[in-house]
Amino acid sequence: MIDPKEKALSYHSKSPAGKLEIRPTKPCETPEDLSLAYTPGVAEPCLRIARRPEDADSTRSAEFGGCGDQRHGRARLGNIGALAAKPVMEGKAVLFKRFADIDAVDIEIDSEDPTM
């Protein structure tokens, strides 16, 4: 009989590492796909959410929370807030997956405090 501790260690160390994998839900192969997923295509969903927060669920994925970037939504789009910046962060996660096979999820922090 296998020791339960060894069984647990074996389970967690099997390849591939970890228990989750992130997959893009949209094509991310061509330059056009990537420009829609990140820049410049991500601006329109962000701006729509900033204007109409109730549209957030139609333009972004369900609640996920990891790209280690604090985003206040200030870059080129202005201070649009964490909710509206979510498509940008999802786009960054897509780039991590597509070019480095790194599974990343986004976390937006709804705060004006840059020290958080």
Cβ(60)–Cβ(89) below 8 Å:
no
Burial 45-66 (b: 16+ CB within 10 A, else e): bbebbbeeeeebeebbeeeeee
Does the annotation count 38 as an active-site position?
Answer: yes
Of the candidates 91, 79, 80, 98, the one whose C-alpha atom is nearest the C-alpha of residue 39 is 91
Active-site residue identified among 7, 38, 86, 97: 38
Active site residues: 38, 92
